[in-house]
Each structure stands twice: as structure tokens, then as C-alpha cells.
Amino acid sequence: MKTLRLLTTFALGGGLALGAYWLANNGRWSVHAEATPVAAQTNGAPLYYRDPSGAPLWSAGPRKDDRGRDYLPVYEDDQAAAVASKPAQAESSRKILYYRNPMGLPDTSPVPKKDPMGMNYVPVYEGDDADDGAVKLSPGKIQRTGVKSEPVERRAIRVAVKAPGTIQLDERRVSVIAMRAESFVQKVADVTTGTRVTSGQPLMEIYSSAVASAAADYLATITSKTVGGVEVYGRGSRQRLVNLDVPEQVIAEMERTRVAPVTVHWSAPRDGIVLERSAIEGMRANPGDVLFRIADISQVWALVDVAERDLGTIAVGQGVAVRARSYPGRTFSGKIAIVYPQVNRDTRTVRVRIELANPDAALLPDMYVDADIDTADSAPVLAIQDSAVLDTGARQAVLVDKGEGRFEPREVKLGRRGGGYIEVREGLADGEAVVTSANFLIDAESNLKAALKGFAEAGEHK
């Protein structure tokens, strides 16, 4: 009966082993031997069970994979054979520093040992634990973690500086109509605040005794037939009219008709919009009283507040795209005209003046706008993706891909940022590859490596 059980076990075990081998080789038979006699394997309990497809998956007890295949048992003899199959001569010439946990746990041992699943601890040799700070990852781990590298190249860095602001009138395009002598408003034209006027358009009629006296004196000189000093006197009389700000067309009409008008027609000095009307029929206007205020808004200013940290990237003449919140999707183009030489102590901003063309009068005074200042420099600089930088606040570093799974951390000095790229001023050379994806996982791996090394050194001092 005992013999029958042995034969049954031998046949069943051999069939399962061959079946598993056939599945592991994708349905192909081979004379390659994982043909270890089942009788030899049954001399002891399995150490653990491995995935039948060869994937790095293990189990402490029997189980099936996602395709329903049984995990293959691994015995002590198989483990010893696997270790013996490694190039022992090459490894024997290298010093073993310590043994690490085969599952990657932060557990080391100064001597060979097994984990709770019976797996041997993996030796760490002197060459594998170099002090150059490099991190070495297996190709499988690189693929699983999604590590990507990109060469360092020269490119133009575009730093977009955004700043809010408001629309203001161009100070050079504002005119006021004020009396220079005591006057009375006889009549006001049909012009109100907000009315668009043209240069020379009548605004009001004014009576002023000072203007009437100067006009009479001027007419007396230009109608006189006296020769000599009369001409000089005539020039002085005309200058008095000019000093009283009498419109030029009124003086020209007096010279043509030789008649001094009782009232003077005051006209608009420029094309624009009436911002203020203080003139009222019958009112008395004292010298200096502003009766009309007219502004040309065909060109306006955008006064924006730029953060102090961006002051070094802007300069006079740079192009600016201005977007008004009242007109979504529309962009007004302009240039920086002046950077005001003063920093606001409360907001830590600097005011910048941008001149904008406004032919259709869409931009109105005090309208809110957002400015996008183009600070692009045509000169290419060494640049990397901003995702490649490991920034601790006090220092910045990148991981340089040295090839064959080795990654070297390196401190760098950075410059301008923009468009997803950062200028590198020190630390990298053109053409070197840096990690742009999953670099934080590699950084965590290097920290784990440092911890394992510390555990090993602590064990040696015991």
C-alpha cells in the first residue's frame, strides 16, 4: 500500500511539474531541465511558490494566478541551484558589505539569513553601494515607475508677466477751455458731457470787455493808413488777443471783415469727447474757471501694477497684449512706454505705462484690464523642464540619467522660468539627459538606499 502511494505521488507530481513547465514555456516542450526529479523535490517542504509565467510574484502558500494556473513550488535544492548558477568567480572577488531583504523592506543583516517566507537575503557588494550618490534601478522598476528622461537643450525662455491695471487718459491729449479774463456766457451750444466733438466745432458764445477792448485796438491799427510805428503797434494788439486765448479763426474773421464782434464764438480745440461741461447760459466766468474739458481717446494709457519680483524682466519697448474684462476674446496691442521709478510700499508693485491705440473708443477711462507682457528673449539658453527640478527651498537639484539604470543627483543653479522650462546657469552641460518624470520616486529610492546603508553601518559597529 505504501509503495502504491509513492508511485501515485511520483506520477501525479511528475505530471504537474511537466504540465507547469509546458505552460511556463508558452506551450513548447524543451529538453532543458527544470527536470529536477520530483522525488528529490519532495524531500522537504517548499520554500515558497513563484508565478508560473516568470513574473516577479511570490506566495508563501499554494495559489493560482489570474489565468487559473498554479504557482510553482520552489524547494531548497532549486534555490541552491539558482544561487550556484550565478558567476561565483566574479562575485567572489568583490567584498560583500551586507545582506538586504529580498522584498525591498528596510531590513539588513551582516550575515546571510532568510526572511519569514524562506527567501535568502540578497548580498550587496562593494561596487553596488558606491558613495558617489548615484541611484541604480532595474529596467523593470524603471518601466513600472514611468521614469522618463530628456536631454538638456538650448531654447528661448518666454516669461509671461501678468499684471492687472486700469485705462487712463493720455495726459497729452486733454484740453480745457478756461477764461483768462472776466467773461459772461451768452449762449451754449447743444453739447453735453459725453458728446463727441471735432476740432473747430462751436461750443459757446462769450462776452468779455477785455476781449472787446483788445479787438477794437487791433482793428484800429489794421485799418489805419499811417506808416511807420503803426505796424509795430498792430502786432502788439494782435498779441493781446492771442494772450486772451481768443480762437485763431475769430481773429482771422476780424482781419477779413474789419469788424469787432460783440461776442466771441469759442470752439473746440481738438477732436475728442466732452468730459466736463461747466458752462451755463448767463453765468459769470472768472479768470481760470474751466468751462469745458475735452479729451482725445483715440490713444489711451493702460496703467498696470507689476510685481516687484518681475521688475528685472520688463523693459521699455516690450510688446504687451491687453485684455479688457468688458470684451472677452478681444486683445489690444501696445508697448511699454514708461516704467515708473517708484515701488508701492504697501503692495510691493511697480507701475508701468502702456500706450494703446483706441480708434473705436472701446477702451474707456477707469476700465479694468489685464496685461500680458511678453518678456521673451531671442537668445537661446540652456533649459530643462520645470518638472525635472527637485526644489527643497534652500537648494535645487536634478537627477542626471547616466544610462544603464544609474541616476546621479546633481545640484544646479537656475535662472528664469517660463513656458514650462527653467534656465540652467550652472550644473549641467548641453546634451546631458535629466529625469523629467517620476524623479520623486527615484529620490525616495535614494533615501531608502541611504537608510539601508546606515542600518548596515550600525550593524557593523555592534
User: Cell numbers 502788439 correspond to what residue?
Assistant: 236
Identify the DSSP state of 94.
S
CA 177/CA 189 separation, integer angstroms? 14
Q: What is the pLDDT along the chain (462 residues), one digit of tens a residue?
A: 444 343 333 333 333 333 333 334 444 433 333 333 343 344 567 877 888 877 767 777 888 888 888 888 887 665 545 544 444 444 456 678 788 777 667 678 888 888 888 888 888 776 555 555 566 666 766 667 677 888 888 888 777 789 999 999 999 999 999 999 999 999 999 999 999 999 989 999 999 999 998 888 888 887 655 444 444 455 678 888 889 988 888 888 888 888 888 899 999 999 999 999 999 999 999 999 999 999 999 999 999 999 998 888 889 999 999 999 889 889 999 999 999 999 999 999 999 999 999 999 899 999 999 999 987 666 788 888 888 888 877 788 888 888 777 778 888 898 888 778 888 998 888 888 888 887 666 666 555 455 445 544 555 554
- 388: number of CA atoms within 13 Å, CB side? 31
Grid cell in block for residue 287: 479768470
CA distances from 435 to 75, 155, 408, 412, 426 (A): 41, 18, 10, 14, 17
- The strand order across the sheet containing 108-109 reads 108-109, 96-100, 122-125
Give Cα 93 distance to the centre of its chain.
53
Q: Is 290 helix (H, G, I), strand (E, B) or coil?
A: strand
CA–CA separation, 94 vs 108, rounded Å? 18
Reported as a single tens digit per residue, the pLDDT across 253-295 is 888 888 888 899 999 999 999 999 999 999 999 999 999 999 9
H and E: helices and strands count for the chain: 9, 29
- pTM of this prediction? 0.55
Q: How many CB atoms lie within 10 A of CB 414?
A: 18
Backbone region of residue 54 per phi and psi (left: phi > 0; alpha: psi in -120 to 50; beta: other values): left
List, in sequence order, every residue forming a beta bridge with 48; answer none if it has no partner: 74
- Phi, psi angle pair for 234, to nearest 5°: -65, -40
Distance between CA atoms of residues 71 and 65, nearest Å: 7
| pLDDT of 446 | 58
User: What's the pLDDT at 349?
Assistant: 95
- How many whole angstroms from its chain centre is CA 2? 79
**354's torsion region: left (phi>0), alpha (psi -120 to 50) or beta?**
beta
- Of 328, 329, 325, 324, nearest to 358 by C-alpha is 324
Nearest-angstrom CA–CA distance, 84 and 35: 17
Cα 304 to chain centroid, rounded: 19
Query: What is each CA distance from 152 to 101, 116, 156, 403, 411, in whole angstroms?
Result: 37, 46, 13, 15, 15
For residue 18 the three cell numbers come to: 511537466
CB 266 within 8 A of CB 205: yes
**Which residue stretches of 324-461 are H helix?**
439-460
Kindly report the number of other CB atoms within 10 A of residue 150's CB atom.
15
Cell of residue 125, nine digits? 557588494
Cβ neighbors of 147 (< 8 A, separation 6 or more) are: 137, 435, 437, 438, 439, 441, 442
Instruction: Compute the distance between CA of residue 436 and CA of residue 146 in angstroms, rounded to an integer.
Output: 10
| Residue 51: closest CA among 33, 72, 79 | 72
- Give yes or no for a contact between 450 and 129, defined as CB atoms under 8 angstroms apart: no
Structural domains of the chain in order of their starting residue, each with its CATH number: 2-82 (no CATH), 86-129 (no CATH), 135-155+379-439 (2.40.420.20), 160-170+297-374 (2.40.30.170), 180-288 (2.40.50.100)
**Separation CA 437–CA 388 (nearest Å):** 7
Give the pLDDT score at 133.
Answer: 57
